[in-house]
Amino acid sequence: MRCCGPGLGFLPASLVILSFGTFCTTYIIAIYRGDVSVLFPYISDTGTSRPESCIFGQFLNICAGLAFCTIYVRYKLVQGFNGSEGRRLKCMNKTCLFFGVLVSLGLSMVANFQETSVETVHIIGAAMVFGVGVLYEVIQTMLTYHMYPEYNGLYICRVRLTICILSFASMIISILFLSGSTIISRSVAKPQDKLHWKPDEAGYIPHIVSTAGEWATAVSFLLFFFTFIRDLQKVSLDINTRIHVRHLDEHPIYITDEEPVQIHSANGPDENTKLLS
């Protein structure tokens, strides 16, 4: 991942690229097969029918894992700067981690429960991704301003604030016009096919505005993660194995100091292996 620079900058970069790639791929396949309307279908609609639903589910699950890793490393980065000081910063950082876990879980729910199969669970997952995701952006932006000027510059604060405002505005527009489209279509006549709205059907214009708002929310949300690349390039993560037995049939010996249990073998020194750096 040298193209993403040193450190763990490849995590948010991979998340953004894979998410965009998944959305574009499922959209193209769905359009080619005639499964959705050409003009601004909902993102979930492009992953409803097979085979695009298989691609949508598989890669969104990977994106959920990448999102969690990115959010966790960002949490550890802020924690490393803050140390034991700054209770407000510590509280905001933990809140961001909590919301980030919900976003990752929601993304996995959207991937595994298709809209036409288990609609209620799918909608809950989408609300976790977009609704909680915007809250994550808001608190993360507040946290970035709180870290200025000791730990980051003003430019990144303004960039994240701009993206945060765009995400919030897009989500509100999408929700309002979705409600309007639903009310109009129910009062006049429901669309014959939810995946193929026609211009002459009641509620078509609010529907298009709502779907465009959803796409704008998704794009701005991914752009927010894109701003983490430079931050995570300054981070490396080590995972050390600590062996608590001399034989695998023994009960583990847990110690309180920093030294691992001494394992003497004929092959060489004790094991304390770095798995990721």
Residue scoring higher pLDDT (241 or 4):
241
- Nearest CA among 208, 12, 43 for reference residue 110: 43
Most confident of 26-30, 112-116, 178-182, 190-194: 26-30
Convert the pLDDT of each residue in 130-146 to its tens digit: 999 999 999 999 999 99
The whole-number pLDDT of residue 154 equals: 95
Separation of alpha carbons 110 and 151, rounded Å? 36
Separation of alpha carbons 77 and 94, rounded Å? 12
Confidence band for 267, pLDDT divided at 50, 70 and 90 = very low
Which residue blocks in the chain are alpha helix, DSSP H?
10-33, 52-82, 87-112, 119-127, 133-146, 154-187, 204-226, 229-232
Confidence band for 245, pLDDT divided at 50, 70 and 90 = confident
**What percentage of residues in the chain have a pLDDT greater than 90?**
51
The whole-number pLDDT of residue 277 equals: 38
Please tell me the pTM assigned to this model: 0.84
Backbone angles phi, psi at 274, to 5 degrees: -80, 125
Average pLDDT score, the chain: 85
Mean pLDDT is lowest, of 35-39, 59-63, 69-73, 129-133, for 35-39
pLDDT exceeds cutoff 50 at 249: yes
Does residue 268 sit in helix, strand or coil? strand
Confidence band for 265, pLDDT divided at 50, 70 and 90 = very low
The whole-number pLDDT of residue 270 equals: 44
**What percentage of residues in the chain have a pLDDT greater than 70?**
86
The whole-number pLDDT of residue 275 equals: 42
Mean pLDDT is lowest, of 42-46, 188-192, 196-200, 229-233, for 188-192
| Structure tokens, 21 | 């790639």
Most confident of 17-21, 42-46, 53-57, 264-268: 17-21
Please answer whether residues 176 and 205 qualify as being in contact, where contact means their C-beta atoms are separated by less than 8 angstroms: no
pLDDT exceeds cutoff 80 at 74: yes
The distance from CA 175 to its chain's CA centroid, rounded to whole angstroms, is 20
Residue scoring higher pLDDT (254 or 212):
212
**DSSP codes of every residue in 156-199:** HHHHHHHHHHHHHHHHHHHHHHHHHHHHHHHHS---S-TTS--T
Q: Is 159 exposed, middle or buried (0-12, 13-18, 19+ CB in 10 A)?
A: middle
Mean pLDDT is lowest, of 18-32, 204-218, 242-256, for 242-256
Beta bridge partners of 265: 268
pLDDT exceeds cutoff 50 at 185: yes
pLDDT (mean) for 108-136: 89
Question: Which residues, 6 or more positions from 143, have their beta carbon under 8 angstroms from its beta carbon?
Answer: 78, 89, 92, 93, 96
Amino acid identity of residue 138, one-letter, is V
